[in-house]
Structures are given as C-alpha cells and as structure tokens.
Chains A and B, each alone.
With several copies, the nearest count.
Chain A
Amino acid sequence: MRYLPLTDTDREDMLAKCGASSIDDLFVDVPEVARLDGPIRDLPMHAGEMAVERHMKALAAKNMAAGDVPFFLGAGAYRHHIPASVDTVISRGEFLTAYTPYQPEIAQGTLQMLFEFQTQVARLYGCAVANASLYDGSTACWEAVAMATRVTKRKRAVLSGALHPHYAQVVKTMAQFTGDEIADSAPAIQTEPDLDGLTSRIDENTACVVVQYPDILGRISDLSKVAEAAHAKGALLIAVNTEPVALGAIKSPGEMGADIVVGEGQSLGVGLQFGGPYLGLFAVRDPKHVRQMPGRLCGETTDAEGKRGFVLTLSTREQHIRREKATSNICTNSGLCALAFTAHMTLLGEKGLRQLAAENHRLACHAADRLAVVPGVSLLNEAFFNEFTLMLEGKPARDIVRELADRDVLGGVSLGRLYPGVKALEHALLVTVTELTTEDDIETLARELEALVKEPA
C-alpha cells in the first residue's frame, strides 16, 4: 500500500520487540465475538490512484458545476471568484497538515494568521472581538442564542421570520433540549421587513432577538430600530449575516447596535462545496462579553526573549479545560477555511472589498431590472444587495427551478424549497447575482423564465 511505510521485515522486527508472535497478539483484548477473521466483506480491496481517480471523476461528472452554466443560487451560500493564490496559501503543507496550535512555539504561522483573521472579522462586523471560527453560520447562530441565554440568564429567543429557515431549525433543534423557548414565524411577503411585528414580540423574558441582515428575501433591515427595542427590554440583538461581501457596501451590524454578530464566511476564499466545510464567524460588540464567547481565541503575548508572539488564550471557557462547564463543546473548528477567508480578504483589502461589493450590487440591480420586465415576473424588494426576490405567476417557483435546470440554467432558489408547504411563498424565487454573473447569463435567465412563466401551470 502506497500509504503504509512499514515493510514486512520492519513488522517482524517490531513484533519481536513487542514480544508478540503475530499481530493478533496485540488485539487479544478484543472480545472473541468482535474479532473478524479477515478483511470486512462487501467492500472492495485497495486500488491504485488511476482507478480511484476514474471512480471519483465519474461521480463528479454527474453534477452540474456552477461554472458551466448560468448560475443564480444564493440563500446562504454564494459563488464568488477566488483568487488563484488563495489555494496556494491553503495548500502549504505547514498549514494544511498542522493541528490546533497547542504548541505555540512551532505554530506561530497558524496563530498569527488567526490573530489577523479575528481582527478582520471584528472590523468587518463592527465589533470589538471575534473568535477563531465555528463550524458554519447556522451553528454560530445557535451558539449566539446559547450565549445570549447565558449572558441574560433568560431563556426566550425571538427569531425574525426572515431568518434563514435552516438556521432557525438548527436553533430550534438545540433549544428543544436546553429548554429554551424559541419564537419564530415564516417571513411575510412584503417589500419591507416587518420590524414592528418583530419588536412587538420582545418582552422582559427575552434573551435575544435574532435578525438576518440582509435577510432571507434579500431585504435590508434597519437594525438600529431592533437594537433599541431589544436593549429597552434588556435583551441582546443577534445579527446574522450570510453574505460578508454585502458588508463592503452596507453599514456593519455592530455599527447599528447588534450585540452579537454571527455569520457565514464561505463567500470569501471557501467556495460552494455543496454546503461544507463552511466558516462560522462569531463576534461581540462589547469586550465585556468575551469570557462568554464560544470557540477558540488567539491572543498576543511575548516569549522568554521578549519577542512578540501569539497563543490560544482564555481557554478556561473551553471544553478541554472546563469540561461540562464550558461555553461550548466545540473543539475542531474551521481553521483552514479561516485561512482561506483571511487570505482572500487580505488580497481584497478595504479597497477591493468595496469594489467587489459595488460590482455585485451593480450587476444585481441590472439583473433585477431586466428580470422584472419579463411578463409574469415582478420584483418584491425595495432594497437589496446582490440577492432579491421575484414573484412568478403561473407555476410554483419550485417547478420552474427544476425546469430551468433541465434547460441547463441554475436559476435561483425557490422559497418553496426553503419553506415547504407555506403557500404564500410558493411563487417566490430568490435570485442571486455576483461578480461572476455575466450579462449573457442574465439574458439567458430572462429568456428561459419568459418561456416557462408563460406556460400554463
């Protein structure tokens, strides 16, 4: 086997050293019942690179790669151009094959990178401190709710109806066991998010309000209003962002009063990857909340010679020290995705991120105008960044998305897929446009939509 360096002579010598006559002697503690006589049946034997590559390529070929067709999907996962040098960086063996930096003297590379990452995320979110990453946006959202209940010692969380439904489900899944009470609802189909409705649900027992920004319909809410209402009742505002690129164009949640800002970082450096691995971002506006944060934190210090260096710090919040009293059970996080994110962000910089955001918005505006004139199609949003909701006449949007796919167009995400059974949302199509979308792509979508929407349901 190409991955196993021991030779048969090595094995003999080593068994001898262990006083074992055969490898079986080293497995004597396994009860008879569980000992297998040979290789597990019903599985193939080892194969060379060529054979394995053929197998995997055949599977890959059965998927429609986003880059090969007009592509308009978003809803929590966005396709952006990743500079070639990002892959160079994350492919460095010293980053790729390192473990969590528990031996800081030989992990300064990972540690300094994390310190830079934390700084970038904190600034992007308008917060004081960010952690070294969580699994993804949805688990970060749940960790935020859990943290809010710790901080406020209250158990009720109010979720905006326009929070990504999968995020809401993750929060509710966890809550059913922690005994937290989750108030949520489906989004109302209207031009403006219903913030009054949301704030009216905040009471003295509310630990936090969770608002997505921009929201699941692509709308942009005035977080400061919600922050005020929440703070008035002693609750925390948790802002959820699924598209970091948007923050190159719109105000940061921290700036607007959010107390905890969480989000999905996949847009930068990570790619689509069918949903994972992604990158959970987590930041707090007020430094006093740091000790309640989940996940790892990298901090600056000095070494025995006085040189600046970095270490993992405040570990007393974490499971490996605090065990059942930890702020979270997370251990492995999304380190390499954080590296991809920070490398991409470093290439962009303030200037590049703003240009990227402007380009996304410019193309999205163009697409919205073009698609809105397709007969039977209307634009819901007043405001949006690179994602907006279209209302389609005739067939449910979900059928139209499937039929578009048959025509080699990935036309968007139907709200019917996200909110199965919610009649009011059946005809809504969420369309996303990024810098990778071409004018031709937009024309193609318009043309195909025209053909399909006209067809009688």
Chain B
Amino acid sequence: MNAPNKSGWKPAMELADGDVASGSATTTGNRALMLEEPLIFEIGHVATTGVDLPEIDASAGNRLGGFERSEAIGLVGLTEPETVRHYTRLSRQNYGIDLGFFPLGSCTMKHNPRLNEKMARLPGFADIHPLAPQSSVQGALEVIDQLATWLKTLTGMPAVAMSPKAGAHGELCGILAIRAAHTAAGNPREVVLVPESAHGTNPATAAFAGYKVEDIPATSEGRVDVEALKARLGPDVAAVMITNPNTCGLFEKDFRTIADAVHAAGGYVYCDGANFNAIVGRVRPGDLGVDAMHINLHKTFSTPHGGGGPGSGPVVFSEALAPFAPLPYVVEESGEYHLVEEENAGDDVSSFGRMTAFHGQMGMFTRALTYMLSHGADGLKQVAEDAVLNANYILRSLEDILHAPFAESGPCMHEALFGDKDFGGDLSTSDLAKGLIDEGFHPMTVYFPLVVHGAMLVEPTETESKASIDQFITAFRNVTERALAGDESLKQAPYHAPRRRLDETAAARKPKLVWQDPAE
C-alpha cells in the first residue's frame, strides 16, 4: 500500500499550517528536515529482524519443562537501516542540552562531558559482573571508594551510602537511616516536617517510610520560618527535610540554627542536596549540621539525564547516622578493596538493610569520578561560582519586567524564581513557556515551587556562555512583554515545534498506554 505516512493522522491536516497557495503544504506531513515517524508497530514485521542469528532447529529437543511458548509475543522487528533511521528521526523531535539553553530549574541541566561517556564505556568498567569475584574487580571497587572519598570531602561528612539509584531513592535511604536510628533509640517517632516549597519526592518519601508529613511554614522572603519551626519541634518529630539552597533559589541563612534546634529536640536534619551545584566546592553541608543528604550525580556531577534517567543518589551521613547505612558498601584494607555485605557486616548489625540488588549506579560513578578529576577542587569551586553568577545575572536582567517575588531576599543561588502575577488577559506561565519553545529554548521549570503563583524557576548552570544567556534574556524579555500585554497569539504557541499543544486531559481521560493494532 502506498500510504504516504502511517503515523495515524491525515496529511491533509498539514495544509492547516502551510499556506496551500504558497505550495508549502506537503503530502508526507514532513517539513524538510522536520520528519514525521510512524510507530515501529506500523512499519515493522514479525518476520523481520536486525540481527543475524542461527535459524531455530525445530527438531532439537528442549529442557523447558513443558513451558515453551505457544503463542506469538506480538513483537515486530526492523532491520538495522530502519532501526537507526527510526530512532534518529525520533531523536530529532527532542530538545536536549546539546541543542541549546535548557534552564530547567532544580534539574541542573549542565553539559555532559564526552570524556565521561568514553570512560564509562571502557570494557573494564562496562563489561564486568556485579557478582564477579572481588579479586577480579578491584578497579571497580576502587572507583566506588575514590568517588566516596570525593563526596565525603566535598560535603565534610564522615560517611556515604553509594547504592541509591537516584535522588528520591537517596531520600528514602536517608529517612530510613533516620528511622532506624530512632527505632534503635526505642521510638521511630511519627512526624517529618517538610516545607511547602519542597520537591514532591520529599513528602512522598517520608510517607513511604511510614511518617506523617507536616508543612513547615515559610517567611515572606522565601525561607523557612525558623520560629514557627522551632515551635513545632518536639518528641514526635523524627526529622526535618530541608532543601538547601532551597527551591526558591535561596540559601537557608539559618540552617545551622535550625539544625541545632532540631538536634536539641532529638530529631535529625535531612538535607535535600538536589541543589548542591550552587555550593559545591565552596560550602560543606557538614559544617551546617546536616545528618543526611543525597547528592544527584546526574545534576551536580554531570551524568546525563537521558530523557528521564538513569541517575544516581549517594547519601552522605553524619557520625550519628553512619552506623545505620545500608549494605553493601566498600572498605579498603591495606590496598585491598572488598564489599561489606550481609554476611560480613559483622558488629555493624545496625545497618537498616539493602536498597537495591547490587552496588549502585556504577555507570554513573565512572562518569562522576571522571568529572570530578577533570574539575578538581578549584574547578568545582568555579562551577558553583559561575552557576550562581549566571543565575543572578538572569534575575537582575529580568526583574524589571517580570514579577520576581524574592528578588529582595538577597542574591539568589543557582536559580532565579519568577511568577506570572502581572500577565495580561488570561495568559499564564505555560503560555510564556510555549512561547520560549518557538524561540528555540527549552522552557524553565514551571509551576514549581508551589509557593509562587505561576512559578518559573530558571537554572542556567555554569556551562552556558554569556552570549547564550544574553540571547535567552532578549528573547525572554520579548515574550514576557507579549505576555504582559496579553498577546493572545501566545496561547497557540508553540507554532514551530514538531507538535502544537497536546491534549493532556484527553490522554488521561481515556488512557491509551500501549499500541493496539487498529485491525484487531
């Protein structure tokens, strides 16, 4: 069949965005280098494969115990040329750091150095088994140990758990250690205090660990209300979870005071370290009274976000919590490295258990260590300084036209926060965000933190040039002016992306989560 494209929508519709008279409409729905791509199930075949494996010898017996598959799986295959093209075309419908400015607040979208990728692919790292005899993987254990040393030194904390798979997993690791410590002391306690401005994973984590979550009020300047917090502390409070620098982009001035108060009340201080990039190499959380903090290697230490993951969320611990850290971990003895697991945990029976099958995200460890060695103590300090400088530069370049709720609360850290308070018509943050898409930028984080109306959280990171930031500012000002003026055309944005605005309500109302053969 000569179907010009199988991607399920009528080419005719393409006419909508190309003026017919001008002849710019296309029959394929493609627009030169902006190419439509069907689903593999629409172009693949059951009998097609992109690998050359031996034909199955039907006559050969098997030892599958009578459970051999009788029915078709329902998969389709593509040859290599089709496969490479399919994913290349799909990739071109994506925005990434490699394409342009990606100021997604709280996500630290910094450049991913290619040396990291190269090192992670060395067979000595990529092609080793997690259960291989430890004598055969000394280099891998040493990588974990070296990275642990960097993390402890950078945070000024005595211990670190390397196995958590991402930030949220790290939070869980930290809260579980806290719960284990309280339990060991006779009472797990009931409540974890979390600021309203916290990332969703914080309350979700506390709840998963069996705690009741209570809000910590914030001051008008965007920081934790110390007095209110102190007032709430008591024997039922197991811990406070505070993000510092916080999600409004501000440094929690009184963190030390808060920590002392929490400790005095017998609680622990969990610090969400997602924003560590603002202070890495310049401030050590250990000096602020932190008991546990996760570090997103996929943020501060440049391992790629990969369209949603994988990440890695090691957790540093204070003396008080160290004994409760999860298994396994690596120890060095006279140049020999070995894993402490259930069996040889020895008197360290206080470990709260195991968070994952193996030793954590080795592929991220090699990348992060490569990054740290490249930057060194001096480079990392510069990272924090440039990240903060870029954010302040943006804040001060936009505050005159855009509502900046905490502009008066002192310098921001690595991200600048704005709100849509003054927008005209019924325009809101998302309209400005979509307008920025047309301008060639990835929008900032929107509607987070919840404490600001139509929040826009802009995190430039240190790997942007001034020219790039200046271009962003110019475009941002232009789109903002349109938003303030209530320019309705923004509601139709984006105009130039592979898709116009997508109907998320319809998607949720009647979820289509897998492909169904229309023929069936």
Tell me, yes or no, whether A and B come into direct contact in the complex with CB atoms closer than 8 A. Answer: yes
Cβ-neighbour of B126 out of A1, A19, A272, A361 (below 8 A): A272
Residue contacts A-B, CB under 8 angstroms, 29 given: A3-B79, A4-B379, A6-B389, A6-B462, A13-B466, A18-B395, A30-B279, A34-B256, A39-B378, A40-B380, A67-B127, A89-B91, A95-B87, A106-B437, A109-B93, A119-B514, A135-B356, A137-B357, A173-B353, A273-B128, A275-B357, A277-B309, A299-B507, A300-B507, A308-B7, A309-B499, A346-B86, A349-B44, A402-B133
Contact A77 B129 (CB under 8 A): yes
- Assembly CA distance A95 to B170 (angstroms): 25
- Assembly CA distance A86 to B37 (angstroms): 18
Q: A301-B503, A302-B503, A343-B83 are in contact. Are A103 and B437 (CB under 8 A)?
A: yes
Contact A347 B70 (CB under 8 A): no
B39 to chain A, nearest CB (A): 6
Q: A63-B140, A99-B104 are in contact. Are A89 and B354 (CB under 8 A)?
A: no
Chain B residues whose CB sits within 8 angstroms of the CB of A298 once the complex forms:
513
Contact A170 B308 (CB under 8 A): no
Q: Which chain B residues numbered 347 to 365 have a C-beta less than 8 Å away from chain A?
A: 352-364
B69 to chain A, nearest CB (A): 6
Which residue on chain A has the smallest CB distance to residue B344? Answer: A420
Decide yes or no whether B40 CB sits under 8 A from chain A.
yes
Contact B94 A94 (CB under 8 A): yes
- Assembly CA distance A4 to B393 (angstroms): 16
Contact A43 B376 (CB under 8 A): yes
A167 to chain B, nearest CB (A): 6
Q: Which chain A residues numbered 31 to 84 have a C-beta less than 8 Å away from chain B?
A: 31, 33-36, 38-49, 51-53, 55-68, 71, 73, 75-77, 79, 83-84
Q: Is the interface of B mostly helix, strand, loop or mixed?
A: loop
Decide yes or no whether A442 CB sits under 8 A from chain B.
no
Which residue on chain B has the smallest CB distance to residue A358? Answer: B56
Contact B114 A84 (CB under 8 A): yes
Contact A299 B93 (CB under 8 A): no
Q: Choose, from B203-211, B227-235, B474-482, the stretch at the interface.
A: B203-211
A118 to chain B, nearest CB (A): 6
Contact A435 B358 (CB under 8 A): no
Q: Which chain A residues numbered 134 to 180 have a C-beta less than 8 Å away from chain B?
A: 135-139, 146, 164, 166-167, 169-170, 172-174, 176-179
Contact B208 A29 (CB under 8 A): no
Most interface-central of B57, B124, B434 (chain A CB within 10 A): B124
Most interface-central of B107, B131, B375, B448 (chain A CB within 10 A): B131
A339 to chain B, nearest CB (A): 7
Decide yes or no whether A319 CB sits under 8 A from chain B.
yes
Chain B residues whose CB sits within 8 angstroms of the CB of A113 once the complex forms:
87, 90, 307
Q: Which chain B residues numbered 1 to 45 have a C-beta less than 8 Å away from chain A?
A: 7-10, 13, 16-17, 29, 32-33, 37, 39-41, 44-45
Chain B residues whose CB sits within 8 angstroms of the CB of A90 once the complex forms:
306
Contact B135 A46 (CB under 8 A): no
- Assembly CA distance A96 to B10 (angstroms): 31
Contact A323 B203 (CB under 8 A): yes
Q: Choose, from B161-169, B261-269, B314-322, B421-429, the stretch at the interface.
A: B161-169
Contact A128 B514 (CB under 8 A): yes
Q: Choose, from A202-210, A231-239, A330-338, A447-455, the stretch at the interface.
A: A330-338
Q: A275-B357, A331-B167 are in contact. Are A302 and B9 (CB under 8 A)?
A: yes
B137 to chain A, nearest CB (A): 5
Contact B282 A164 (CB under 8 A): no
Decide yes or no whether B403 CB sits under 8 A from chain A.
no
Decide yes or no whether A378 CB sits under 8 A from chain B.
no
A89 to chain B, nearest CB (A): 4
- Assembly CA distance A454 to B125 (angstroms): 34
Contact A108 B209 (CB under 8 A): no
B222 to chain A, nearest CB (A): 11
Inter-chain pairs besides A1-B379, A79-B127, A84-B113, 18 sampled, C-beta below 8 Å:
A5-B464, A46-B52, A56-B119, A59-B124, A68-B123, A73-B131, A97-B304, A98-B95, A98-B97, A99-B305, A119-B41, A146-B208, A177-B179, A249-B69, A307-B13, A330-B168, A331-B168, A420-B342
Contact B466 A55 (CB under 8 A): no
B90 to chain A, nearest CB (A): 4
Decide yes or no whether A348 CB sits under 8 A from chain B.
yes
Q: A-facing mask of B486-509, CB < 8 A → 1, else 0?
A: 000000101001111111101110
Chain A residues whose CB sits within 8 angstroms of the CB of B383 once the complex forms:
4
Most interface-central of A3, A277, A321, A401 (chain B CB within 10 A): A3
Chain A residues whose CB sits within 8 angstroms of the CB of B472 once the complex forms:
none
Contact B304 A336 (CB under 8 A): yes
